[in-house]
Amino acid sequence: MRSQFFCRPLILVAVIITACRQTPETPVLFDGIEYSSFLEEKAIGLLRTSLDDGEQKIKQVTLLKADHILPHESYQLNLTDKNLIIRASSWQGAIYGTLDVHEHLEMNAILPSSDEIKSPTLAVRAIKFNLPWSAYRESASMSIHEKTCRDPEFWKAFLDMMLSNRFNTLLLYNKHPFPFMVRVEEYPEACPYSEQEMEEWKSFWQELLRMAKERAIDVFIVNWNIIVSPSFAHAYKINEYNDTSQVTIDYTRKSVTALINEYPDLAGIGVTLADWMNGMSPAKKEIWIEKTFVDGMKEANRPVKFLHRAVLSGSSDEMRKLLDRAALTESTDVEIKFNWSHGHSTPKLLITHASETGEVNTGFWDPAPDNYHIQWMIRNEDFFILRWGDASFIRQHISLNSKPFVNGYHIGSEGYIPALNYFDKKSNAPQYAFERQWLFYMLWGRLLYDHGTSDSTFTELINKNLNTDHGHQILKAYEYASKMPLMLASFFKSTWDYTLYSEGFMAPVMRTEYGIDDQQSPFISLEELMDHQTLDTSYISVSEYTQLKINNTEPETGQQTPLMIAEQLMTYADSAEIFINLIEAEKDDNPHLQLELIDVKMWTYLLEYFAHKLSAATSLSYYRVVQDPSFKNDAIKHLNRCLSIWKDLSKLGEENYYEVPYWESRVFNKDSFINDFSWQKYLPEVERDLEVAKGY
């Protein structure tokens, strides 16, 4: 069932696309008024007459192609004598300006009367989207989406959401995309599909790319590296992965060229240096990319944009040499994974994934590059089920990290695809997973376009989307509740995807260089929390704090002890609960609002759980040294509270959510118990923490 609060924005976007359609062949209609193609020089389109925005009577709205040059994606609104003019010098600016006007009118907001130019804060606002076929992560959490991701109606809805929230780039990831998109003439055996099946695939891709282009969205195909299809590997008796033979180089190069030539609406291609370049030096990795991707792009019938991911590249110097040699005519960007796979942590850049050590290699941007820009990848591997939204975190992140060499952000996940909603038990839940996380996309997308977007604007958008008057309370409740995953990921240092899953309080693969692994379960146990490094350098770990107390030493200025962090967690929980109570006091039976409140409540439980567990870990760690029973008793008191909280959390989870696929144990040689997740499954681990403390 489609959620009601998504219907109006999608209808609105559809109208705007009709108004601003890029194809110039024929005029199209907007509310019965003929509209001239914006691509025509100095085209003027009469959009509406006699508009009423609540307080202002507008006689006419006109879209005008500006004589002077406005920045790309920018627009200017001018309201004079009840006549509104939208000026833009690019089609993207025209569509954003038109969208802005419609939103003002829908929210009965006063339209600006000045000539202020609205321009994007960041040029590239991208969503990373993992495809379920040839998926990088092999699990039911990927394959469950195959049917949905072949449905054009899903993509129409997803692209409408992107446009509504000012995202302008879609990055489609999988291991080896070519057999699903092209049949290379010299290597037909690489594609396992019949002619009819291949035509169906091509029709699908062409429609997706067309819809994206209409919505001012660039689509990139992004893959890994030395991979061929199983049928190709069989035909040439080579390995599917890591084969550096000349036939694989030739096949990959020709596939890149064919892909660009076959799909004229494809905006760009990206490549990753990680995983399947085993044993290769940084220089050899870049040479392989040059012989395949760069040369394949140059042999195509048109230029496209290039995304070079820095993941495990190993050397910024070698990457710079490649890009200098390539001398590509379209834009080139380099993506850096901000705080590795857990970007929703601290807004301070502390680790990346350019190497296995995580050390930040400033050589990618120092000295400042003149032929590429840096783009931050803000990965989310920490909340797939619970809705999230913290505008203050996003604003701080953008403020700290918008440097002259940075032109964009990517947001997205590896272990989660926002397609089919397989989480909710409620019949009125949204059909698609991304619709559940509408606030996440709204906050990230709009703040990346306009960093100055105010909370009052978000309040009005929430009111409109949820058909409520509680927008302010919802925004603030989410802001406080959403601190939980940020603070856990900042406190419990982690790296790649499955080293942390914050909403489950799990670390399925423990990085033992950062702390102990008690080998009990994926759940972060009490003892693991007691002996683990922090990511944020302003946070003091439990073991460090114990040593400070033993030495009778005060923390450095600006550092936060575990007890200070626990107190802050409780403050956020209490603040979120205040706003929940304000909403519930109104006895609003809005079903969509109730779905939001469930997740805010669950985050609040997790805040409280983390606070009490951190307090228990601090007391028990000190008890291990001083053997004062009062500290052990304090730990047990907090752990009893943890047990009560987790039971409440599990009950709410069981009432509203299915046990859902998380990962595939055979890939990581782990117990299959972890393949599916629910909070109820880990209640025995919460009980075990209590018994461990009692046994000290």
Residue 406 has pLDDT above 90, yes or no: yes
Please tell me the predicted confidence (pLDDT) of residue 64: 78
Q: What phi and psi values does residue 82 have, to the nearest 5 degrees?
A: 65, 15
Q: Which helix (H) or strand (E) holds 83?
A: strand 83-88
Which residues fall within 8 angstroms of residue 530, CB to CB, at 6 or more apart? 542, 543, 617, 620, 621
SS (H, E, C) 336-358: EECCCCCCCCCCCCCCCCCCCCC
At 57, the pLDDT band (50, 70, 90 cuts) reads: low
pLDDT at 495: 96
Look at residue 30 and tell me whether its pLDDT is greater than 70.
no
Q: What residue has token string 């025509």? A: 40
At 234, the amino acid letter reads H
Residue 220: its pLDDT value, please? 98
Q: The tokens of 200 are what?
A: 């169906």
Query: Which of 14-18, 88-92, 115-119, 530-534 is least confident?
Result: 14-18
**pLDDT value for 102:** 83
- Give the mean pLDDT of 600-611: 98
Q: Under a CB-based contact definition with an 8 Å cutoff, are residues 141 and 677 in contact? A: no
What are the pLDDT digits (tens) for 116-134? 899 999 999 999 999 999 9
More confident residue, 35 or 140: 140
- Average pLDDT estimate for 159-188: 97
Encoding tokens for residue 92? 């993207």
Question: Is the pLDDT assigned to residue 28 strictly greater than 60?
Answer: no
pLDDT of residue 340: 97
Is 80 exceeded by the pLDDT of residue 678?
yes
**Count of residues making up the chain:** 696
CA dist., res. 233 & res. 228, Å (int): 6
Tell me how many degrees the CA angle 599-604-607 measures, rounded to the nearest 5.
130
Share of the chain above pLDDT 70, in %: 91
Higher-confidence residue of 15 and 530: namely 530
Token pair belonging to 380: 């989310």
Q: Residues 50-61: what's their mean pLDDT?
A: 60
Q: Is the pLDDT of residue 555 over 50?
A: yes
Give the pLDDT of residue 85: 85
Residue 55: pLDDT band with limits 50, 70, 90 = low
The Cα 434–Cα 413 span in angstroms is 12
Q: 416-469 pLDDT, tens per residue? A: 999 999 999 999 999 999 999 999 999 999 999 999 999 999 999 999 999 999
Percent of the chain with pLDDT over 90: 78
What residue segments make up the domains of the chain, in order of their start?
4-118, 124-453, 483-694
pLDDT digit string, tens, across residues 492-543: 999 999 999 999 999 999 999 999 999 999 999 999 999 999 999 999 999 9
SS3 150: coil
For tokens 């839940």, the residue is 429
How large is the average pLDDT for residues 224-252? 96
The CATH H-level superfamily of 124-453 is Glycosidases (3.20.20.80)
Please state, in angstroms and rounded to a whole number, the distance separating the CA atoms of residues 138 and 123.
33
Place 328 in a pLDDT band, splitting at 50, 70 and 90: very high
Would you say residue 14 has pLDDT above 70? no
Provide the whole-model pTM.
Answer: 0.94
Please give the Cα distance from 618 to 191 (Å, whole number). 58
- Rg over alpha carbons for the chain, rounded to the nearest Å, is 26
Residue entry with tokens 């109006």 = 8
624-658 pLDDT, tens digit per residue, is 999 999 999 999 999 999 999 999 999 999 999 99
User: Which secondary structure element, helix H or strand E, spans residue 254, and what is its range?
Assistant: helix 246-262
pLDDT range class, residue 42, cuts 50, 70, 90:
very low
Please, what is the Cα angle at 631 between 630 and 637, to 5 degrees?
90
Say if CB 505 and CB 495 are below 8 A apart: no
Query: How distant is the alpha carbon of residue 149 from its chain centre?
Result: 17
For the cut 90, the answer to whether the pLDDT of residue 27 exceeds it is: no
Beta bridge partners of 63: 45, 86
Is the link from the previous residue into 367 a cis peptide, with omega within 30 of 0? yes
Lowest mean pLDDT among 114-118, 362-366, 483-487: 114-118
Q: Does the pLDDT of residue 383 top 90, yes or no?
A: yes
- Can you give the pLDDT at residue 89? 80
- Mean pLDDT for the stretch of residues 37-60: 50
Q: Is 27 helix (H, G, I), strand (E, B) or coil?
A: coil
Which pLDDT value is given to residue 56?
A: 57
How many helices and strands, by DSSP H and E, does the chain display?
A: 24, 17
Classified as helix, coil or strand, 281 is coil
Give the model's pLDDT for residue 512.
93
* pLDDT single digits (tens) 94-106: 889 888 888 887 8
Mean pLDDT of the chain: 90
Interval 566-579 mean pLDDT:
98
Q: What is the mean pLDDT of residues 52-78?
A: 75
More confident residue, 461 or 31: 461
